[in-house]
Structure 1
Amino acid sequence: MTAFSLDPAQTAWCAELRTLAAEILRPLAEKGEAGHVNRPLVAELGRLGLLARLFTSGALDLCLMRESLAQACTEAETALALQGLGAHPVHAYGTQDQRERWLPQVADGGAVAAFALSEPGAGSDAAALALRADEDGPDGWRLTGEKCWISNAPEADFYTVFARTTPGAGARGVTAFLVPADRPGLTGTPLDMLSPHPIGALAFDAVPVTADDVLGEPDHGFRVAMHTLNLFRPSVGAFAVGMARAALDATLEHTAQRDAFGGKLRDLQTVAHQVAEMALRTEAARLMVYAAAAAYDEGAPDVPQRAAMAKLLATETAQYVVDAAVQLHGARALRRGHLLEHLYREVRAPRIYEGASEVQRAIIAKELYAAEEAS
């Protein structure tokens, strides 16, 4: 396990990000409409240079950005992360023409990206996806089927879409395509979800794509998906750590000020021990996230295992910490508009998306047994 601590420059940058999130980004987020892309917020992330860093930073910098923004403005964190998730395959696997057309627009906030992997019958089991890419001429396909639970859909400007080009080949028969939103036959529907960020379903009715739209190589799209998820899974953990820290900070303030039983709430041993446990788990999750990100940046061979561990521990920890914070705040935390009411809705989804907690445990076990057999 990598021994890890932030240097002074990184610590100062994180503090600057939290300030930007609180003073500039949060007011824009509050003007947005739940369930819709907040384009002014995305544009401001571009103006501040944060979106461009998605394509120049390593996994650790991505984690620091997501954790810091989440601590002060979850909407800004999510907008940044979704731009990165949707556009990273273009950055890593796109042709020069694809990169030149789309990445500058993503970086300045002018184009909204989306990552379209999940389907009604294939969520965490990505290799089982059923969206068909039927051959249409010598270098073309027609996409037919559905995608579901797609963040930024149906309002994104382009989608990284994963479709089956070779039936019956499992993970080896999937191709990644860059599909602009204005392609004929592509329609979408918004979904009303617990968390406030935009999520929708996409319908593909013989949507035309060509070899110019392929990301990477035909039938090698599963590699594109897994490479992207291995990068972003630790940073999902960072998002969770940011929410846990925000909940912990709110709890420290509340329990230090709240009068109860002739003293302050913090004077009750059961409360103090609960707060200590919240802090302990949050710090442990943060260190695992940083270690997984550092391993990715170093090209370590056990990145899939570390990324899965980081996402699993951090998202489960954030759920625990936010729930404990709500309990210690009492009924006030359940009022619409309270920070913890907001975090309570936000914290549930990360345990499901980009691989549910059960899938992360399966990945961890698979990697452990593979290492044992290789030794």
Structure 2
Amino acid sequence: MPAFSLEPEQIAWCGELRTLAAEQLRPLAEKGEPGHVNRALVAELGRLGLLGRLFTSGALDLCLMRESLAHACTEAETALALQGLGAHPVHTHGTPAQRDRWLPRVADGTAVAAFALSEPGAGSDAAALALRADPDLGVDSDLDVDLDPDVDSDPDVAHPGHPPIAEPDGPSRWRLTGEKCWISNAPEADFYTVFARTTPGAGARGVTAFLVPADRPGLTGTPLDMLSPHPIGALDFDAVPVTADDVLGEVDRGFRVAMGTLNQFRPSVGAFAVGMAQAALDATLAHTSRRDAFGGKLSDLQSVAHQVAEMALRIEAARLMVYAAATAYDEGAPGVPKRAAMAKLLATETAQYVVDRAVQLHGARALRRGHLLEHLYREVRAPRIYEGASEVQRGIIAKELYAALAAGEESQ
């Protein structure tokens, strides 16, 4: 499928999602409490089958879902995206036992997932994370108690169809000690995909991903009062026990779990931004075509018309780049990290520009609490930071470009 064209069925599906978001999901979102998980909204996303599609659809379908939902209900879009982000490592790297226990509950909206990568001193520089996974060799450890009755607790027995997790000569039990910060859905999630350092001083090569249920002893959290309305919090790990059965993927290979997840979700962050930008443009078209000013309509003013044209131009360019990056991911094309970074960078920066222009063209009414643009103005800022700030995306793009240059010179 060409990256620049959608099939008629896809276009129709996007229209259905926008209607669904406006008529069924937005009323539930409006009943939610800002800064807290809206479990009724999550459950409805599950009932409608949208959460289940997170595990059966490709990156392009994820983008279409996020863009369409964001156009009418940013809260629904974010609730869906956070379920996918937190559970994607379980879907792609989890053992059969981990998948069987958590994925059905994520899909039906009865379990809330979270992706716990950022720390107070390691946000964009994910390889610098400091949450420690210290080997636990104590005979009297409370790890001797079965932490999860639904999971085989014998670390020496591989799950069927899954390779052994712990190295034969390495530890099979750890204690997590440290902090995570800026974690969406914390501290109200039911489980966390947690990235911790198992090998000190090894940079990205010494990180392991763990699936940590929220009821583990020593795990506590605090909500953070943020600009955007969705839940974000900090987590404190006070010698939280984990075993080899909690590892996602392989020990010391957790960085690839994190980056694989982000490579898939970065284009869809761009799709979220495009959906918000389109909503702002639609509101601006309606307002400027009706608003009387200077003896005519606002839309009659060339300065206004040119701004609207620029907004539309940038949105379409960002949308096409998002679709291209997602299609490249689905087809296993080369250059996915660069394409994903470009898509997120362009789309999030574009959305910031478009929403700001929309506010300017609406005037003071757009700043009134409860106005669509007031809501979008608060929502649009965060995507330029999370899942890799804009500066990080530029760094990824440059790194990939120079790597390609070096590879070409070596092959000559």
CA distance in 1, matches of 2:198, 2:20: 44
Matching residue within 206, 211, 214 for 1:181: 214
Aligned to 2:197: 164
Aligned to 2:141: none
1:32-47 correspondence to structure 2 within 5 Å? 32-47=32-47
Aligned to 1:75: 75
CA distance in 2, matches of 1:177, 1:374: 34
1:188-230 alpha-carbon deviations (Å, 9 max, x no partner): 0000000000000000000000000000000000000000000
Counterpart AA for 1:94: G
Larger C-alpha radius of gyration, 1 or 2?
Answer: 2
| CA shift for structure 1 position 300 | 1.1
Aligned to 2:182: 149
Aligned to 1:309: 342
CA distance in 2, matches of 1:365, 1:290: 21
CA distance in 2, matches of 1:293, 1:91: 18
Aligned to 1:131: 131
Q: Helix, strand or coil for the counterpart of 1:50? A: coil
1:287-329 alpha-carbon deviations (Å, 9 max, x no partner): 0000000000010120000000000000000000000000000
User: Quick check: 2:178–2:238 contact (8 Å CA) kept in 1?
Assistant: yes
User: Quick check: 1:2–1:295 contact (8 Å CA) kept in 2?
Assistant: no
CA distance in 2, matches of 1:6, 1:47: 27
Identity of aligned residues (%): 89
Counterpart AA for 2:62: L
CA distance in 1, matches of 2:287, 2:304: 11
| CA shift for structure 1 position 2 | 5.5
User: Quick check: 1:142–1:208 contact (8 Å CA) kept in 2?
Assistant: yes
1:212-231 correspondence to structure 2 within 5 Å? 212-231=245-264
CA distance in 1, matches of 2:42, 2:16: 18
Aligned to 1:240: 273
Counterpart AA for 1:152: N
CA distance in 1, matches of 2:45, 2:188: 18
Matching residue within 319, 330, 335 for 1:297: 330
1:34-54 alpha-carbon deviations (Å, 9 max, x no partner): 000000000000000000000
1:43-54 correspondence to structure 2 within 5 Å? 43-54=43-54
CA distance in 2, matches of 1:209, 1:314: 38
CA distance in 2, matches of 1:54, 1:260: 47
Unaligned runs of 5+ in 1: none
Aligned to 2:6: 6
1:89-147 alpha-carbon deviations (Å, 9 max, x no partner): 00000000000000000000000000000000000100000000000134100000000
1:353-372 correspondence to structure 2 within 5 Å? 353-372=386-405
| CA shift for structure 1 position 4 | 1.6
CA distance in 1, matches of 2:214, 2:343: 33
Aligned length: 375
| CA shift for structure 1 position 3 | 4.2
Aligned to 1:59: 59
CA distance in 2, matches of 1:296, 1:3: 11
1:9-30 alpha-carbon deviations (Å, 9 max, x no partner): 0000000000000000000000
Moved over 4 A (4+): none
Aligned to 1:191: 224
Q: Helix, strand or coil for the counterpart of 2:233? A: strand
CA distance in 1, matches of 2:3, 2:240: 49
Aligned to 1:335: 368
CA distance in 2, matches of 1:373, 1:102: 43
Aligned to 2:358: 325
1:319-352 alpha-carbon deviations (Å, 9 max, x no partner): 0000000000000000000000000000000000
User: Quick check: 2:197–2:207 contact (8 Å CA) kept in 1?
Assistant: yes
| TM-score, L = length of structure 1 | 0.99
CA distance in 2, matches of 1:348, 1:139: 41
Aligned to 1:28: 28
Q: Helix, strand or coil for the counterpart of 2:338? A: helix
1:235-264 alpha-carbon deviations (Å, 9 max, x no partner): 000000000000000000000000000100
1:56-104 alpha-carbon deviations (Å, 9 max, x no partner): 0000000000000000000000000000000000000000000000000
Counterpart AA for 1:34: P
| TM-score, L = length of structure 2 | 0.91
Matching residue within 237, 259, 267 for 2:292: 259
User: Quick check: 2:3–2:323 contact (8 Å CA) kept in 1?
Assistant: no
CA distance in 2, matches of 1:355, 1:293: 17
User: Quick check: 2:311–2:354 contact (8 Å CA) kept in 1?
Assistant: yes
* 1:93 and 2:93 correspond: yes
Aligned to 1:347: 380
What is the Cα-based RMSD across aligned positions, in Å? 0.8
